[in-house]
Amino acid sequence: MHAEPQKEHKWLEQLVGEWVMEMDGGGQDQPSTKQINTETVRSLGVWVQCEGTSSMPDGSPARTVMTLGYDPAKKKFVGTFIGSMMTNLWVYEGELDAAGKVLTLDADGPNFADPTKTAKYKDAIEIVSPDHRTLTSRLLGDDGQWHHFCTAHYRRKA
């Protein structure tokens, strides 16, 4: 089987490279934190794999891996996210906006207030320029409103 790259796969290719990421966030009802992290994004043909390294608030190392692709049968972007600091496998499904700048990914994950329950999340990757992108994360609250809890700015390493 050989998958022919679609325009959506080509969109993902702009993420490939070495990045420095500055994150401002902490989670709902948690103090804001600012971190500087790194990320390496590799192409796997019709997929990209994003590997991040950072530090936890206590100074211990953290690693993350995100995969992103496009499923032509579903007509949706698909992916996963795992982190060394959590046991949840995040499964993404999402769409690109009409302007081709923002990829919004939906997922279910642990509820901040009660980890025995799940909540709905939206992560949005926005291409600001070829060397700058953002990731914003929102959580659907019990009040039915989407609550922003994290913003990350990725800048391509020189």
Domain membership flag for residue 12: yes
**pTM: predicted TM-score of the whole model, two decimal places:** 0.90
Amino acid at 27: G
The letter for the amino acid at 92 is Y
In a domain, 29, yes or no: no
Q: What CATH number is attached to the domain comprising 138?
A: 2.40.128.20
pLDDT at 10: 96
For 98-108, write each residue's pLDDT tens digit: 999 999 999 99
Q: What is the rounded CA–CA span in Å between residue 153 and residue 17?
A: 15
Tens of pLDDT along 51-109? 999 988 788 999 999 999 999 999 999 999 999 999 999 999 999 999 999 999 999 99
Quote the pLDDT of residue 80: 98
Query: Rounded distance, CA 39 to CA 17, Å?
Result: 8
Least confident of 86-90, 112-116, 154-158: 112-116
Assigned domain for 102 exists: yes
The whole-number average pLDDT for the span 117-140 is 97
- Is residue 151 assigned to a domain? yes
Q: Please, what is the average pLDDT of the chain?
A: 91
Instruction: Mention every residue, 6+ apart, whose C-beta is less than 8 A from residue 62.
Output: 53, 54, 55, 56, 83, 84, 85
145 located within any domain: yes
Total number of domains in the chain: 1
CA end-to-end span of the chain: 37
What average pLDDT does the segment 119-133 reach? 97
What is the pLDDT averaged over residues 118-134? Answer: 97
Quickly list DSSP for 19-79: EEEEEEE--TTS--EEEEEEEEEEE-SSEEEEEEEEE-TTS-EEEEEEEEEEETTTTEEEE
Q: Is residue 70 part of a domain?
A: yes
Q: Looking at residue 64, what is its pLDDT?
A: 96
Q: Is residue 2 part of a domain?
A: no
* Listed residue (40, 9, 30) closest to 103, CA to CA: 9
Q: Which two tokens stand for residue 88?
A: 């949840």
Residue 51: give the domain boundaries. Answer: 7-23+34-156
Evaluate whether residue 1 is within a structural domain.
no
